[in-house]
Chain A
Amino acid sequence: MIDAIYNWIDNRLALSKSGRHLLNKIFPDHWSFMIGEIALYSFIVLLISGVFLTLYFVPSEAMTIYHGAYKPLDGMRVSQAYASTINISFGVRGGLFMRQLHHWAANIFVGSIVVHMLRVFFTGAFRRPREANWMIGATLLILAIFNGFLGYSIPDDLVSGTGIRIAFSILESIPFVGTNLAFFLFGGNYPGTDIIPRFFILHVLILPLVILGLLAAHLGMLVKHKHTQFKGRGARNDNVVGSPLWPNYAAKAGGFFFLTTGVTAILAALVQINPIWQYGPYVPYKVSYAVQPDWYMGWLDGALRVMPSWEIHLPGHMIPNVFFPGILLPGVTFTLIYLWPFIESKFITHDYAEHHLLDKPRDNPMRTAIGAAVFAFYFVLFGASSTDVLANYLQVSLNVVLWAFRIACIVVPIVVFPVAYKICLELQHLPEAGKRKRHMIIVRDEEGAYHSVDSEEYPGYVTPELAPVQIEEVDLSPEISALNATATPKDTGVYKIPRD
């Protein structure tokens, strides 16, 4: 019976063939190829915990009087968005855990995307034919950052409200169209009453859908292009050596999903994140000192802090200071990220060939050095978002810390570039670099002399030249054509394919 139903579906959708193709997909075994999966799994955690939160969150800026468990807020006039988030934290069973799970998962989501991107960049996995997938990945990063910001904003607490205020000003700073654009997105001047409902729809509906779609495209292209791999163990540019998706890799990935979820859940259960009851509701004329965005916006916040107060006065128009760190910097950043595969092949490697074998970072010193320097620049900016925390911790003047970061964001990349370049060159001449050292065994022979002998290789570092295992692809085309030839009109366009 089940067979019959399956056959009926299979005849129409050809599940067996495409399914077998998919299940036979080969994943090369290297731990760094699993970083992207952390993002995938935390996205699943985000979706599940997000659905839970949506059930209790009220996306409205209408005012209400909060009455509930948290005493300093009892009887305060707050927005429904804020009141419902407090209620999730104190009133709903498991609500605070879900909130913290959602927030930690978001942090891990964006973090693993960045690490995954660094892996792809430094191993040259973005080269032809994967440029488009690289760009999809970059888009996913932007969307993840943007959606994280929206999610951070909708509880309508004091800290995130200040963040929205800054975002509004950054939008306004865009020359000529800024004010119109800001008014269009926020539904009028700041603070309107439309911000939270609009952000909510973007956060829970539109952006997750777009992310989901792009994620499907990202993975689809991964299957289509086949996986990249490192050299050795019989891996060549025209094959893929590793374990098939079913059953080996599926077991591995399934276990990894549960472990990623476990790590997130441990954080959610043990470490507090975004305690909005301490922050109080957002009131436009109230502000807390030293508010920061979540870390993935930190480099933008750092850029805002580090930027000297320069403005450009054009006749009849002034380009405000926040435009440069708030709009120009991310704009240039992501343009460069998008175009990097083409910039590299045109100006650095002059290599337009297809690459399925990965570089080690040392193999392409120029790329590695540029990547390291640029990353160092953004890392310094990221650090600059905590100038006040550092000044307070180190008990030095805030101005000293700020100037240190201003100098560092220029000096550090300049230092990092040649150092990374030189290290790459050095490593190229050390074939044993990165491998575990073998033990030396001292042996004494019968005449009393000592000799040293190398111990056996570690199991992981023996690389026998294996031939890739060919996976048989069932070629059904002769059978289909035979059926085509004998098909009668009675078959209503469905061709029965014999199966053994």
Chain B
Amino acid sequence: MIEAIKKRIKIHFKAIVKYNKVAGLLVFALAPVLLTQFLVALPAVASVGSHLSRHESQRQSNMSQATAAAAAGAKTPQLQEGRTLFDENCSSCHGVDAAGSKLAPGLHGLGAGVVNLWVSSGWMPLANPGAEPARKPALFDLQQTNAISDYVASLSRGGIPILYPNLKGASVTEGFSIFALNCAPCHTITGAGDALSNGLYAPPLHGLTSTQVAEAVRSGPNNMPVFSTGVISKSQLKDLVAYVTKYIEHPDNPGGVGLGGVGPVAEGFIGLFVGVGLCLLVAFWIGDRTEKEEDKGHKKSETGVQHA
């Protein structure tokens, strides 16, 4: 009896080995990968939890400190409002009086322009500490944003002010040319934005205000380089801002659906799957149709046909 079972198992094992070599190899090859993935993921999940709780406790302590030191340097109602908003929304990471903490850098020396850019674009406040700054609807309205910016700027000297470029007499043509030279190498020529190497990316440039564009050019947020007046002069900045705010979305853009401005990838996709695909469907339709009708014809007349 046992002998027979042993024999059976042997046969089955042989069959499994014979027919599932490839599958077996794949499992053995993938198993360590999956295992390591799992092991890596475990502590990561755990650390996120602890990170969050640490952040929460720090936030609590910061808040109490902030209320204790309230109204110390707030001279005008605007600065007072900015200070309140900063303490409530920013100080948990950037520290009291924007001096910085373990979680985020201090903001001294940046000026109102940088703060205005980061807050108005929705980059700040972050979705959670440690998240990548991502474009999202701004948390504050214009007046609140300016209040925060002015408050942070009032804490130190230097940096760039909030910029309001005067677009009167700006040349879009010149702006297009400057854009192609300085911005298109990362943001692409259509301004659609794209992924750069090592996880960096250039965001799309659609729907920006002239203030945001000017501040980004002058301050270089994230991995973007700073373009100082030596590279892009004041009047050139005006032209550039005019192009980016007015024409990057190509208001007079004939020719039909734009396909996202990502170029031939989308076009090829449409050409192959819609163009050639529709033609194939038509071929299928025509070919099929004739087949059926002929069959009907054959049924009527085939009785007389002889086999060759």
The answer to whether A289 and B256 have CB atoms under 8 Å apart is no
Judged by DSSP, the binding face of B is helix
Which residues in B have their C-beta under 8 angstroms from that of A409?
A: none
The answer to whether A460 and B287 have CB atoms under 8 Å apart is no
Is B40 among interface residues, defined by CB-CB distance under 8 A? no
The answer to whether B198 and A389 have CB atoms under 8 Å apart is no
Q: How far is the CA of A397 from the CA of B190 in the complex (A)?
A: 21
The answer to whether B197 and A398 have CB atoms under 8 Å apart is yes
Is B5 among interface residues, defined by CB-CB distance under 8 A? no
The answer to whether A399 and B268 have CB atoms under 8 Å apart is no
The answer to whether B263 and A399 have CB atoms under 8 Å apart is no
> Closest residue of chain A to B179, judged by CB?
A280
The answer to whether A252 and B286 have CB atoms under 8 Å apart is yes
Is B156 among interface residues, defined by CB-CB distance under 8 A? no
The contact string, 1 if C-beta is below 8 Å from chain B, for chain A 442-474, is 000000000000000001101011111110000
* Segment 1-59 of A: residues with Cβ below 8 Å from B: 29-35, 37-38
* The residue from B184, B265, B284 contacting A385, defined by CB atoms under 8 A apart: B265
The contact string, 1 if C-beta is below 8 Å from chain A, for chain B 238-260, is 00000100010010111111110
Is A386 among interface residues, defined by CB-CB distance under 8 A? yes
The answer to whether A104 and B189 have CB atoms under 8 Å apart is no
* The residue from B22, B255, B291 contacting A273, defined by CB atoms under 8 A apart: B255
The answer to whether A100 and B255 have CB atoms under 8 Å apart is yes
The answer to whether A292 and B264 have CB atoms under 8 Å apart is yes
Q: How far is the CA of A452 from the CA of B284 in the complex (A)?
A: 33
Known: A100-B255, A292-B263, A398-B199. A464 touches B194 (CB 8 A): no
Q: How far is the CA of A462 from the CA of B284 in the complex (A)?
A: 18
The answer to whether A293 and B279 have CB atoms under 8 Å apart is no
Is A243 among interface residues, defined by CB-CB distance under 8 A? yes
Is B226 among interface residues, defined by CB-CB distance under 8 A? no
Q: How far is the CA of A462 from the CA of B296 in the complex (A)?
A: 10
Which of B198, B272, B279 gathers most chain A CB within 10 Å?
Answer: B279
Which residues in A have their C-beta under 8 angstroms from that of B177?
A: 76, 280
Known: A107-B268, A466-B298. A275 touches B176 (CB 8 A): no
Give the number of A-B contacts (CB < 8 Å). Answer: 238
Is A264 among interface residues, defined by CB-CB distance under 8 A? yes
The answer to whether B307 and A465 have CB atoms under 8 Å apart is yes
The answer to whether B290 and A391 have CB atoms under 8 Å apart is no
Q: How far is the CA of A462 from the CA of B294 in the complex (A)?
A: 11
Which residues in B have their C-beta under 8 angstroms from that of A287?
A: 184-185
Interface range on chain B (Cβ under 8 Å from partner): 35 or more
Which residues in B have their C-beta under 8 angstroms from that of A264?
A: 275
> Closest residue of chain B to A392, judged by CB?
B195
Is B187 among interface residues, defined by CB-CB distance under 8 A? yes
The answer to whether B283 and A269 have CB atoms under 8 Å apart is no
Q: How far is the CA of A38 from the CA of B196 in the complex (A)?
A: 39
Q: How far is the CA of A296 from the CA of B307 in the complex (A)?
A: 48
Is A96 among interface residues, defined by CB-CB distance under 8 A? yes
Q: How far is the CA of A467 from the CA of B256 in the complex (A)?
A: 52
Count residues of chain A with CB under 8 A from any CB of chain B: 90
The answer to whether B264 and A293 have CB atoms under 8 Å apart is yes
Is B9 among interface residues, defined by CB-CB distance under 8 A? no
The answer to whether A388 and B195 have CB atoms under 8 Å apart is yes
Is B261 among interface residues, defined by CB-CB distance under 8 A? yes
The answer to whether B243 and A72 have CB atoms under 8 Å apart is yes
The answer to whether B287 and A31 have CB atoms under 8 Å apart is yes
The answer to whether B295 and A269 have CB atoms under 8 Å apart is no
Is B232 among interface residues, defined by CB-CB distance under 8 A? no
Is A260 among interface residues, defined by CB-CB distance under 8 A? yes
Is A115 among interface residues, defined by CB-CB distance under 8 A? yes
Is B3 among interface residues, defined by CB-CB distance under 8 A? no
The answer to whether A272 and B180 have CB atoms under 8 Å apart is no
The answer to whether B193 and A35 have CB atoms under 8 Å apart is no
Q: How far is the CA of A279 from the CA of B250 in the complex (A)?
A: 11
Q: How far is the CA of A72 from the CA of B175 in the complex (A)?
A: 8
* Segment 62-119 of A: residues with Cβ below 8 Å from B: 69-76, 89-90, 96, 100, 104, 107-108, 111-112, 115
> Closest residue of chain A to B273, judged by CB?
A111
The contact string, 1 if C-beta is below 8 Å from chain A, for chain B 121-141, is 000000000000000000000
Which residues in B have their C-beta under 8 angstroms from that of A34?
A: 283, 286-287
Q: How far is the CA of A301 from the CA of B254 in the complex (A)?
A: 29
Known: A272-B258, A386-B265. A279 touches B276 (CB 8 A): no
The answer to whether A467 and B305 have CB atoms under 8 Å apart is yes
The answer to whether A35 and B267 have CB atoms under 8 Å apart is no
The answer to whether B268 and A298 have CB atoms under 8 Å apart is yes
Which residues in B have their C-beta under 8 angstroms from that of A388?
A: 194-195
The answer to whether A271 and B259 have CB atoms under 8 Å apart is yes
Q: How far is the CA of A269 from the CA of B275 in the complex (A)?
A: 13
The answer to whether B267 and A294 have CB atoms under 8 Å apart is yes
A158 CB to closest chain B CB, in angstroms?
6
* Segment 197-234 of B: residues with Cβ below 8 Å from A: 197-199, 201-202
Known: A34-B286, A111-B272, A158-B184. A464 touches B176 (CB 8 A): no
17 A-B contact pairs sorted by A residue (CB < 8 Å): A30-B287, A31-B284, A33-B287, A71-B247, A72-B175, A73-B173, A111-B276, A263-B279, A270-B256, A273-B267, A280-B177, A285-B181, A290-B263, A295-B267, A396-B199, A398-B196, A466-B305
Supply 4 further A-B pairs (C-beta < 8 A) apart from A108-B276, A259-B282, A391-B194: A100-B256, A107-B271, A263-B279, A470-B308
Please give me the 3 A-B residue pairs with the lowest Cβ-Cβ distance, nearest first: A295-B268, A31-B287, A107-B271
Residues of A at the B interface (CB closer than 8 Å) are 29-35, 37-38, 69-76, 89-90, 96, 100, 104, 107-108, 111-112, 115, 158-159, 234, 239, 243, 248, 252, 255-256, 259-260, 263-264, 267, 269-275, 277-280, 283, 285-296, 298, 385-386, 388-389, 391-392, 395-401, 418, 459-460, 462, 464-470
